[in-house]
Amino acid sequence: MTNHTGGAQTATATSSRPARGRNRSRAQSRWAMSIALLALPVLVYGAFMLYPIGRVITLSFYKWDGLGVGTWAGFNNYVTTFTDPRLLDAFWHALVLIIFYAVFPLIIGLVLATLLTRSSVRGLGFFRTVVFLPQVIAMVVLAISWREIYAPDGLLNRVLRAIGLGGLARPWLGDYSTALIAVGLIGTWVSTGLVTVLLMSGIARIPREYYEAAMLDGAGWFRRFWSVTIPSVRGEILVSLTLTVIAALKTFDLVYMTTSGGPGTSTTVPSYEVYNQAFRLGQVGTASSLAVVLTLVIFLINLTINLWGEKNQ
Protein backbone atom coordinates (compact mmCIF):
# COMPACT_ATOMS: atom_id res chain seq x y z
CA MET A 1 0.00 0.00 0.00
CA THR A 2 2.84 2.33 0.91
CA ASN A 3 4.75 1.55 -2.28
CA HIS A 4 1.65 2.20 -4.34
CA THR A 5 1.05 5.60 -2.70
CA GLY A 6 4.70 6.59 -3.05
CA GLY A 7 4.66 5.62 -6.69
CA ALA A 8 1.55 7.71 -7.33
CA GLN A 9 3.13 10.77 -5.66
CA THR A 10 6.31 10.31 -7.68
CA ALA A 11 4.32 10.07 -10.90
CA THR A 12 2.33 13.18 -10.00
CA ALA A 13 5.49 15.17 -9.19
CA THR A 14 7.13 13.97 -12.38
CA SER A 15 4.14 14.97 -14.51
CA SER A 16 3.84 18.41 -12.86
CA ARG A 17 7.41 19.38 -13.73
CA PRO A 18 6.79 19.50 -17.51
CA ALA A 19 3.57 21.45 -16.85
CA ARG A 20 5.44 24.07 -14.82
CA GLY A 21 8.09 24.18 -17.52
CA ARG A 22 5.49 24.74 -20.22
CA ASN A 23 3.85 27.55 -18.19
CA ARG A 24 7.21 29.21 -17.64
CA SER A 25 7.99 28.90 -21.33
CA ARG A 26 4.64 30.48 -22.27
CA ALA A 27 5.22 33.37 -19.82
CA GLN A 28 8.67 34.00 -21.27
CA SER A 29 7.26 33.88 -24.81
CA ARG A 30 4.56 36.42 -23.92
CA TRP A 31 7.15 38.66 -22.27
CA ALA A 32 9.41 38.46 -25.32
CA MET A 33 6.46 39.18 -27.61
CA SER A 34 5.51 42.24 -25.52
CA ILE A 35 9.06 43.56 -25.73
CA ALA A 36 9.11 43.00 -29.50
CA LEU A 37 5.79 44.81 -29.96
CA LEU A 38 6.95 47.76 -27.84
CA ALA A 39 10.36 48.00 -29.47
CA LEU A 40 9.21 49.65 -32.70
CA PRO A 41 7.00 52.34 -31.08
CA VAL A 42 9.77 53.15 -28.58
CA LEU A 43 12.33 53.44 -31.37
CA VAL A 44 10.02 55.67 -33.44
CA TYR A 45 9.22 57.82 -30.40
CA GLY A 46 12.90 58.12 -29.56
CA ALA A 47 13.88 58.98 -33.13
CA PHE A 48 11.20 61.61 -33.75
CA MET A 49 10.66 62.99 -30.22
CA LEU A 50 13.46 62.31 -27.76
CA TYR A 51 16.37 62.82 -30.15
CA PRO A 52 15.23 66.29 -31.35
CA ILE A 53 14.62 67.37 -27.75
CA GLY A 54 18.07 66.13 -26.74
CA ARG A 55 19.60 67.90 -29.73
CA VAL A 56 17.93 71.21 -28.82
CA ILE A 57 19.12 70.90 -25.22
CA THR A 58 22.67 70.24 -26.46
CA LEU A 59 22.62 73.24 -28.82
CA SER A 60 21.41 75.48 -26.00
CA PHE A 61 24.88 75.23 -24.45
CA TYR A 62 26.69 76.33 -27.62
CA LYS A 63 27.17 79.56 -29.49
CA TRP A 64 26.39 78.69 -33.10
CA ASP A 65 25.20 80.62 -36.12
CA GLY A 66 23.79 77.56 -37.88
CA LEU A 67 26.58 77.38 -40.46
CA GLY A 68 30.05 77.31 -38.93
CA VAL A 69 31.50 75.42 -36.00
CA GLY A 70 29.80 75.96 -32.67
CA THR A 71 31.72 76.97 -29.54
CA TRP A 72 30.93 76.03 -25.96
CA ALA A 73 28.93 78.77 -24.23
CA GLY A 74 27.90 77.12 -20.98
CA PHE A 75 24.86 78.81 -19.48
CA ASN A 76 25.38 82.10 -21.32
CA ASN A 77 22.43 81.46 -23.64
CA TYR A 78 20.15 80.90 -20.66
CA VAL A 79 21.44 84.09 -19.04
CA THR A 80 20.55 85.91 -22.25
CA THR A 81 17.09 84.33 -22.26
CA PHE A 82 16.36 85.67 -18.77
CA THR A 83 18.00 89.08 -19.16
CA ASP A 84 17.38 90.21 -22.74
CA PRO A 85 14.51 92.77 -22.62
CA ARG A 86 13.15 91.60 -25.97
CA LEU A 87 12.91 87.97 -24.81
CA LEU A 88 11.43 88.96 -21.45
CA ASP A 89 8.79 91.01 -23.28
CA ALA A 90 8.01 87.93 -25.37
CA PHE A 91 7.20 85.88 -22.26
CA TRP A 92 5.13 88.71 -20.81
CA HIS A 93 3.13 88.96 -24.03
CA ALA A 94 2.53 85.19 -23.95
CA LEU A 95 1.08 85.49 -20.44
CA VAL A 96 -1.21 88.28 -21.66
CA LEU A 97 -2.33 86.09 -24.56
CA ILE A 98 -3.30 83.35 -22.09
CA ILE A 99 -6.07 85.69 -20.91
CA PHE A 100 -7.35 86.05 -24.47
CA TYR A 101 -6.84 82.43 -25.52
CA ALA A 102 -7.98 80.69 -22.33
CA VAL A 103 -9.79 82.90 -19.79
CA PHE A 104 -12.11 84.87 -22.08
CA PRO A 105 -13.10 81.82 -24.20
CA LEU A 106 -13.84 79.85 -21.03
CA ILE A 107 -16.16 82.55 -19.67
CA ILE A 108 -17.89 83.06 -23.02
CA GLY A 109 -18.06 79.32 -23.68
CA LEU A 110 -19.66 78.57 -20.29
CA VAL A 111 -22.38 81.15 -20.89
CA LEU A 112 -23.05 80.10 -24.49
CA ALA A 113 -23.00 76.38 -23.73
CA THR A 114 -25.37 76.77 -20.79
CA LEU A 115 -27.85 78.92 -22.68
CA LEU A 116 -27.86 76.73 -25.79
CA THR A 117 -27.88 73.33 -24.09
CA ARG A 118 -30.52 74.12 -21.47
CA SER A 119 -32.88 75.93 -23.82
CA SER A 120 -35.06 74.54 -26.59
CA VAL A 121 -33.02 75.84 -29.50
CA ARG A 122 -33.25 74.17 -32.87
CA GLY A 123 -30.23 73.60 -35.03
CA LEU A 124 -27.67 72.96 -32.29
CA GLY A 125 -25.70 70.75 -34.66
CA PHE A 126 -25.41 73.60 -37.15
CA PHE A 127 -24.36 75.98 -34.37
CA ARG A 128 -21.63 73.58 -33.20
CA THR A 129 -20.31 73.41 -36.76
CA VAL A 130 -20.27 77.20 -37.13
CA VAL A 131 -18.53 77.96 -33.82
CA PHE A 132 -16.02 75.16 -34.38
CA LEU A 133 -15.18 76.40 -37.89
CA PRO A 134 -12.15 78.52 -36.82
CA GLN A 135 -10.51 75.33 -35.57
CA VAL A 136 -10.86 73.73 -39.00
CA ILE A 137 -9.63 76.63 -41.14
CA ALA A 138 -5.86 77.03 -41.42
CA MET A 139 -4.49 79.74 -39.13
CA VAL A 140 -2.71 81.35 -42.09
CA VAL A 141 -6.06 81.93 -43.80
CA LEU A 142 -7.59 83.32 -40.61
CA ALA A 143 -4.63 85.61 -40.04
CA ILE A 144 -4.85 87.07 -43.54
CA SER A 145 -8.60 87.60 -43.15
CA TRP A 146 -8.23 89.38 -39.82
CA ARG A 147 -5.36 91.46 -41.14
CA GLU A 148 -7.72 92.80 -43.78
CA ILE A 149 -10.40 93.47 -41.14
CA TYR A 150 -7.91 95.40 -38.97
CA ALA A 151 -6.40 97.33 -41.90
CA PRO A 152 -6.65 101.17 -41.89
CA ASP A 153 -9.34 100.96 -44.59
CA GLY A 154 -10.62 97.58 -43.41
CA LEU A 155 -14.06 96.48 -42.31
CA LEU A 156 -13.67 97.45 -38.64
CA ASN A 157 -12.65 101.04 -39.36
CA ARG A 158 -15.34 101.41 -42.04
CA VAL A 159 -18.00 100.30 -39.55
CA LEU A 160 -16.68 102.73 -36.93
CA ARG A 161 -16.80 105.62 -39.39
CA ALA A 162 -20.28 104.61 -40.55
CA ILE A 163 -21.70 104.82 -37.02
CA GLY A 164 -20.00 108.09 -36.20
CA LEU A 165 -17.05 106.71 -34.25
CA GLY A 166 -14.39 107.57 -36.81
CA GLY A 167 -12.21 109.00 -34.06
CA LEU A 168 -11.60 105.45 -32.83
CA ALA A 169 -10.41 104.24 -36.23
CA ARG A 170 -6.73 103.37 -36.38
CA PRO A 171 -4.31 100.82 -37.85
CA TRP A 172 -5.08 98.30 -35.14
CA LEU A 173 -2.16 95.98 -35.87
CA GLY A 174 0.24 98.89 -36.38
CA ASP A 175 -0.52 100.78 -33.20
CA TYR A 176 1.70 100.09 -30.18
CA SER A 177 -1.22 100.38 -27.78
CA THR A 178 -3.65 98.09 -29.61
CA ALA A 179 -1.57 95.53 -31.57
CA LEU A 180 -1.31 92.92 -28.79
CA ILE A 181 -4.99 93.30 -27.89
CA ALA A 182 -5.97 92.94 -31.55
CA VAL A 183 -3.94 89.72 -31.87
CA GLY A 184 -5.39 88.47 -28.57
CA LEU A 185 -8.96 89.03 -29.75
CA ILE A 186 -8.26 86.86 -32.78
CA GLY A 187 -7.13 84.16 -30.37
CA THR A 188 -10.34 84.59 -28.38
CA TRP A 189 -12.41 84.17 -31.52
CA VAL A 190 -10.48 81.05 -32.53
CA SER A 191 -10.58 79.37 -29.09
CA THR A 192 -14.18 80.17 -28.14
CA GLY A 193 -15.65 77.64 -30.57
CA LEU A 194 -13.50 74.78 -29.29
CA VAL A 195 -14.25 75.58 -25.65
CA THR A 196 -17.99 75.99 -26.31
CA VAL A 197 -18.27 72.64 -28.08
CA LEU A 198 -16.38 70.85 -25.29
CA LEU A 199 -18.57 72.42 -22.61
CA MET A 200 -21.78 71.73 -24.52
CA SER A 201 -20.94 68.03 -24.61
CA GLY A 202 -20.36 68.07 -20.84
CA ILE A 203 -23.46 70.08 -19.95
CA ALA A 204 -25.65 67.86 -22.12
CA ARG A 205 -24.77 64.90 -19.86
CA ILE A 206 -25.92 66.61 -16.65
CA PRO A 207 -29.22 65.03 -15.50
CA ARG A 208 -32.12 67.50 -15.46
CA GLU A 209 -33.04 66.17 -12.02
CA TYR A 210 -30.07 68.06 -10.58
CA TYR A 211 -31.44 71.37 -11.80
CA GLU A 212 -34.97 70.49 -10.71
CA ALA A 213 -33.75 69.63 -7.21
CA ALA A 214 -31.85 72.91 -7.03
CA MET A 215 -34.97 74.82 -8.12
CA LEU A 216 -37.01 73.10 -5.41
CA ASP A 217 -34.43 74.31 -2.89
CA GLY A 218 -34.99 77.86 -4.11
CA ALA A 219 -31.77 78.23 -6.11
CA GLY A 220 -31.81 80.95 -8.75
CA TRP A 221 -30.24 80.66 -12.17
CA PHE A 222 -26.80 81.84 -11.02
CA ARG A 223 -26.82 79.50 -8.03
CA ARG A 224 -27.76 76.58 -10.31
CA PHE A 225 -25.01 77.59 -12.72
CA TRP A 226 -22.41 77.87 -9.96
CA SER A 227 -23.40 74.83 -7.87
CA VAL A 228 -24.60 72.38 -10.54
CA THR A 229 -23.18 73.26 -13.95
CA ILE A 230 -19.60 74.21 -13.13
CA PRO A 231 -18.83 71.24 -10.80
CA SER A 232 -20.36 68.85 -13.34
CA VAL A 233 -18.14 70.04 -16.21
CA ARG A 234 -14.89 70.38 -14.24
CA GLY A 235 -13.25 67.77 -16.47
CA GLU A 236 -14.20 69.64 -19.64
CA ILE A 237 -12.98 72.90 -18.10
CA LEU A 238 -9.58 71.36 -17.35
CA VAL A 239 -9.29 70.00 -20.89
CA SER A 240 -10.26 73.40 -22.31
CA LEU A 241 -7.72 75.23 -20.17
CA THR A 242 -4.98 72.77 -21.05
CA LEU A 243 -5.57 73.07 -24.80
CA THR A 244 -6.02 76.85 -24.86
CA VAL A 245 -3.07 77.63 -22.58
CA ILE A 246 -0.82 75.49 -24.80
CA ALA A 247 -2.20 77.30 -27.86
CA ALA A 248 -1.46 80.70 -26.28
CA LEU A 249 2.10 79.83 -25.31
CA LYS A 250 3.09 78.22 -28.60
CA THR A 251 1.31 80.63 -30.95
CA PHE A 252 3.53 81.48 -33.90
CA ASP A 253 1.74 81.52 -37.23
CA LEU A 254 -0.84 84.09 -36.11
CA VAL A 255 1.83 86.54 -34.93
CA TYR A 256 4.06 85.86 -37.92
CA MET A 257 1.29 86.49 -40.45
CA THR A 258 -0.29 89.53 -38.78
CA THR A 259 2.46 91.60 -37.15
CA SER A 260 5.80 89.71 -37.31
CA GLY A 261 6.25 90.69 -33.68
CA GLY A 262 5.72 94.40 -34.33
CA PRO A 263 5.28 97.23 -34.18
CA GLY A 264 8.66 97.19 -32.48
CA THR A 265 8.44 94.29 -30.04
CA SER A 266 4.86 94.92 -28.91
CA THR A 267 3.51 91.55 -30.11
CA THR A 268 6.56 89.31 -30.07
CA VAL A 269 6.08 85.95 -28.32
CA PRO A 270 8.48 83.13 -27.37
CA SER A 271 7.68 80.88 -30.34
CA TYR A 272 8.22 83.74 -32.76
CA GLU A 273 11.47 84.66 -31.03
CA VAL A 274 12.75 81.09 -31.41
CA TYR A 275 12.30 81.52 -35.17
CA ASN A 276 13.66 85.07 -35.14
CA GLN A 277 16.78 84.22 -33.14
CA ALA A 278 17.59 81.08 -35.14
CA PHE A 279 16.76 82.03 -38.74
CA ARG A 280 17.06 85.83 -38.83
CA LEU A 281 19.71 86.68 -36.26
CA GLY A 282 21.75 83.47 -36.50
CA GLN A 283 21.68 82.89 -32.74
CA VAL A 284 20.84 79.19 -32.73
CA GLY A 285 22.10 78.67 -29.18
CA THR A 286 19.89 81.43 -27.80
CA ALA A 287 16.95 80.12 -29.81
CA SER A 288 17.52 76.63 -28.40
CA SER A 289 17.71 77.86 -24.79
CA LEU A 290 14.54 79.85 -25.36
CA ALA A 291 12.82 76.74 -26.76
CA VAL A 292 13.90 74.70 -23.72
CA VAL A 293 12.60 77.34 -21.29
CA LEU A 294 9.33 77.64 -23.22
CA THR A 295 8.85 73.88 -23.12
CA LEU A 296 9.41 73.83 -19.36
CA VAL A 297 6.98 76.72 -18.85
CA ILE A 298 4.28 74.93 -20.87
CA PHE A 299 4.89 71.71 -18.94
CA LEU A 300 4.78 73.41 -15.52
CA ILE A 301 1.65 75.45 -16.26
CA ASN A 302 -0.25 72.42 -17.52
CA LEU A 303 1.00 70.30 -14.62
CA THR A 304 -0.33 72.96 -12.26
CA ILE A 305 -3.71 72.98 -14.02
CA ASN A 306 -4.03 69.20 -13.82
CA LEU A 307 -2.88 69.00 -10.19
CA TRP A 308 -5.39 71.69 -9.30
CA GLY A 309 -8.09 69.70 -11.08
CA GLU A 310 -7.22 66.49 -9.24
CA LYS A 311 -7.16 68.30 -5.91
CA ASN A 312 -10.65 69.72 -6.44
CA GLN A 313 -12.29 66.53 -7.69
The answer, yes or no, to whether residue 41 has pLDDT greater than 90, is no
Q: Is the pLDDT of residue 13 over 70?
A: no
Residue boundaries of the structural domains of the chain: 21-59, 76-311
Q: Is the predicted pLDDT of residue 3 greater than 70, yes or no?
A: no
- pLDDT, tens only, 181-237: 999 999 999 999 999 989 988 988 888 888 888 888 888 888 888 888 888 898 899
Higher pLDDT, 134 or 42: 134
d(CA 94, CA 89): 9
Q: What is the pLDDT of residues 73-82, one digit of tens each?
A: 999 999 999 9
pLDDT band at 120 (very low <50, low <70, confident <90, very high): low
Say how far apart CA 190 and CA 148 lie, in whole Å: 17
- pLDDT given for residue 302 in this prediction: 84
How far is it, in rounded angstroms, from Cα 220 to Cα 203? 18
The 3-class secondary structure across the chain, one letter per residue, is CHHHHHHHHHHHHHHHHHHHHHHHHHHHHHHHHHHHHHHHHHHHHHHHHHHHHHHHHHHCCEECCCCCCCEECCCHHHHHHHHCHHHHHHHHHHHHHHHHHHHHHHHHHHHHHHHHHCCCCCCHHHHHHHHHHHHHCCHHHHHHHHHHHHCCCCHHHHHHHHCCCHHHCCCCCCCCCCHHHHHHHHHHHHHHHHHHHHHHHHHCCCCHHHHHHHHHCCCCHHHHHHHHHHHHCHHHHHHHHHHHHHHHHCCCHHHHHHCCCCCCCCCCCHHHHHHHHHHHCCCHHHHHHHHHHHHHHHHHHHHHHHHHHHHCC
pTM above 0.85, yes or no: no
Nearest to 239 by CA among 105, 45, 95, 100: 105
Mean pLDDT calculated for residue range 269-277: 95
CA distances from 228 to 126, 132, 220, 240 (A): 27, 25, 11, 19
On the CB side of 134, CA atoms within 13 Å amount to 18
Give the pLDDT of residue 8: 47
**pLDDT for residue 174:** 93
The yes or no reply on domain 76-311 and CATH 1.10.3720.10 is: yes
Average pLDDT, the chain: 86
Give the separation between CA 308 and CA 245, rounded to whole angstroms: 15
Report the amino acid identity of residue 248. Answer: A
Q: What is the dihedral of CA 172, 270, 295, 64, to 10 degrees?
A: 160
**CA–CA dist 268, 254 (Å, integer):** 11
Peptide bond into 263 cis (omega under 30): yes
Beta bridge partners of 168: none
Q: pLDDT band at residue 121, thresholds of 50, 70 and 90? A: low
More confident residue, 282 or 46: 282
d(CA 202, CA 51): 38
Q: Please compute the mean of the pLDDT values over residues 53-60 and round it to a whole number.
A: 91
- Whether pLDDT at 6 is above 90: no
Question: What is the pLDDT, as a whole number, of residue 37?
Answer: 74
* pLDDT for position 292: 95
| Residue 21 reports pLDDT greater than 60 | no
The percentage of the chain sitting over the pLDDT mark of 90, rounded to a whole number, equals 53
Mean pLDDT over 270-280 rounds to: 94
Q: Nearest-CA neighbor of 144 among 124, 181, 173, 164?
A: 173
Q: Provide the β-strand partners of residue 71.
A: 63
**Per-residue pLDDT tens for 228-271?**
888 889 889 999 999 999 999 989 999 999 999 999 999 999 99
pLDDT band at 102 (very low <50, low <70, confident <90, very high): very high
Higher pLDDT, 41 or 196: 196
